A = this chain, B = another copy of it.
Amino acid sequence: MSVREEFDDWATSGRDKGMEDRHWNTAKHALARMPVEPGDTILDLGCGSGYAGRALRDNAEAGRVYGLDGSPEMARNATEYTDDSDVGYLVGDFDSLPFADDSIDHVWSMEAFYYAADPHNTLEEIARILRPGGTFYCAVNYYEENVHSHEWQESIDVEMTRWDREEYRRAFREAGLRVAEQDNIPDRETTIPDASAFPTEDWDTREDMVERYREYGTLLTVGVAP
């Protein structure tokens, strides 16, 4: 199934908003670290509901924010959620970014990068469009060390790339990006029930759920164009 078919479906059934709620718990901490200067141009890859761009405009004085998504329905929803004319959404694919060389100050991507058909090529595309000194904030919950995420592939028809921390660092460097930081950002807000509630529908043990959210959380890798 194509990205478009899979995620148009998610968008029309309202899953874009559900993801926004869940991802915000860790995304907000990563977004707060971005060294955004007033007027900067920011691109959100796989923007979904587009919340990251709206937050960067509201809190970080970003100049223009563009959200790119392979699903037209996602881009349509995102457009409806804002009337800020300095936030724009467009349809496009990670492997053929429709931007000029050196045209973007910062690229953000949450829970989307690993859907790229050719992630190494996507990193090269990101390195191409970033101006020297621009950053790529790549946040993922689906990665090798997070064993609790491995089964997600079973319910998604788009092939997902499952790198470990070191593979992320290496791939960034191969694409010409400097690696500035790598971090696990814990999700301290998702409610974890008392031990008596386990097993739940999704979790065998409380320990697993604690490990997934409070320990592994979101893996952030920050690259910088040289």
Partner-B contacts on A (CB < 8 A): 32-35, 37, 132-133, 135, 169, 173, 178-184, 222, 224, 226
In the complex the two chains form, is A226's CB within 8 Å of B133's CB?
A: yes
Q: Which residue of B lies closest to A134 (CB)?
A: B178
Dominant SS among interface residues on chain A: strand
**Which residues in B have their C-beta under 8 angstroms from that of A33?**
181-183
A35 vs B178: C-alpha distance in the bound complex, in angstroms? 10
What are the residues of chain B within 8 A of A222 when measuring CB–CB? 180-181, 222
Q: Which partner residue on chain B sits nearest A178 by CB separation?
A: B133
Q: Which chain B residues border A224 with CB–CB below 8 Å? A: 178, 180, 224
A35 near B169: Cβ-Cβ < 8 Å: yes
Note all chain B residues with C-beta closer than 8 A to A173: 133
Ordered by A's residue number, 12 sampled pairs between the chains whose C-beta atoms are within 8 Å are: A33-B181, A33-B182, A35-B169, A35-B179, A35-B181, A133-B173, A135-B181, A178-B178, A180-B222, A181-B181, A181-B222, A222-B222
